[in-house]
Amino acid sequence: MQFGIFSIADITPDPTTGRVPTEHERLLTIVEQAKLAEQVGLDVFALGEHHNPPFVTSSPTTTLAYIGAQTEKLILSTATTLITTNDPVKIAEDYAMLQHLTGGRVDLVMGRGNTGPVYPWFGQDIRTGLELAIENYELLHRLWREDVVNWEGQFRTPLQQFTSTPRPLDGVAPFVWHGSIRSPQIAEQAACYGDGFLHNNIFWPITHTRQMVQLYRERYEHYGHGKAHQAIVGLGGQAFMRKSSQAAVAEFRPYFDNAPVYGGGPSLEDFTAQTPLTVGSPEQVIERYLTMADEVGDYQRQLFLMDHAGLPQKTVLEQIELLGTEVVPVLRRELDARRPADVPDAPTHAAMVAARDAEQGRFDPSYRFETGDNWTGLRAGDSSQR
């Protein structure tokens, strides 16, 4: 099972001091957090994409490549990649680049974003958000799998004999998760492709999470990718820890009460009862997150949001260290122990290459000047028939 952290790179005043980091400082905190995540044994760092204040993460591949250059094992992911407003051609190129440079330590979580105004900034219309997510991903999926693509769609100029470069590392596309909090259509999309489903449930009660994941699992089986319990599921999470739960609550409360997301709403006590947010000792966090698999089945990836609500960097680093050294080792041991043998791990690049080699033989990485033919056996003419 994979564990990690994700950041949406928000700039939020520290409510206890009023301090606001500069954009420059905030970006460097993210890099430092990712590096620490690897050092304390976490598997994944995922970065959001936002194109408006108060966020500083408009170009995730830049940051992820910078982190990738300073880490060795950490899987670099997104939270999320805007499949609606990014040109799928550019996503295909950017993340194939990142995949090559990091030795395959890349996967993506596709999302529609939660900011309506972002659509027109990129020439799109929010009313077609779902349709964009469907069409753009279908194109992205093909760009990574077919050397030569002919394409005609509703939302972008047609492609004639187009080759997205570089071709994916070892001929294997980065693994894709589809992130959805409320849209059954996205769970359906993830299931159809046999991709992963990342349900970031940090603001939702488990009754909702259970059903979203169940829907994805049922549809995954429907599309013949495996049994429902073998589908690839990731969850979000949120925790704040100190040795004693009283100390954790006392320290975190001003951040909770003033956070842009939940400030002025439910009490900390109500919110922790209703959502995965856990504020207490590491043991309490372990106890809480051991129950998730009972609700959604054995799953493959658990991400935590640790840097938010204006928490100072020193505190965030302490939280990541507690997560990596005290919480995750126990969760990893217990959740791996309960997982049946036929439930797969989250696909890594190495695993996908091995699976492809077993099925189709070894990949020939020689550069192909003639792009009309490739290992898939698809030709341009075939593509246009789809």
Partner 1 sequence: MSAPIRLLVLSAGLSTPSSTRMLADVLSRASADALESRGAQVEVRTVELRELAHDITDMMLTRFPSQRLADVISALTQADAVIAVTPIFNVGPSGLAKSFLDAVDRELWTGKPVLLGATAGTSRHSLAIDYAIRPTFGYLRSEVVPTAVFASSADFGATSPDEADEQPLAVRARRAGAELATMLLAGVGEAAESAIEHEDQGQAAGQGQGRQAPQAGQAGQDQAITGPAADGGDARTGSSLDPEFSDFVPMDRLLGGK
- Chain positions contacting partner 1, by CB under 8 A: 130-131, 134-135, 138, 151-154, 183-185, 187-189, 191-193, 203-205, 208, 211-212, 214-215, 218-219, 222-223, 262, 264-266, 270-271, 274, 386
Pick 110 or 322: Cβ nearer partner 1: 110
Pick 362 or 386: Cβ nearer partner 1: 386
How far apart CA 24 and CA 28 sit, in angstroms, is 6
CB of 269 to partner 1, least distance (A): 12
CB of 76 to partner 1, least distance (A): 28
Alpha helices (runs of H) in 123-281, residue ranges in sequence order = 129-145, 184-193, 206-222, 245-258, 268-274
Pick 1 or 292: Cβ nearer partner 1: 292
CB 363 within 8 A of CB 171: yes
User: What are the CA-CA distances from residue 116 to residues 52, 64, 178, 237, 379 (Å)?
Assistant: 11, 25, 19, 25, 39
CB of 153 to partner 1, least distance (A): 4
CB of 214 to partner 1, least distance (A): 6
Strand order in the sheet with 233-235: 75-78, 44-47, 2-7, 301-305, 233-235, 196-199, 175-179, 107-111, 81-82
How far apart CA 211 and CA 117 sit, in angstroms, is 30
* 3-state SS, one letter per residue, for 200-223: CCCCCCHHHHHHHHHHHHHHHHHC
Pick 164 or 383: Cβ nearer partner 1: 383
Pick 42 or 143: Cβ nearer partner 1: 143
Omega before residue 174 within 30° of 0, cis:
no
CB of 135 to partner 1, least distance (A): 5
Pick 296 or 322: Cβ nearer partner 1: 296
CB of 267 to partner 1, least distance (A): 9
Report residue 280 CA to chain centroid gap. Answer: 26
Report residue 290 CA to chain centroid gap. Answer: 21
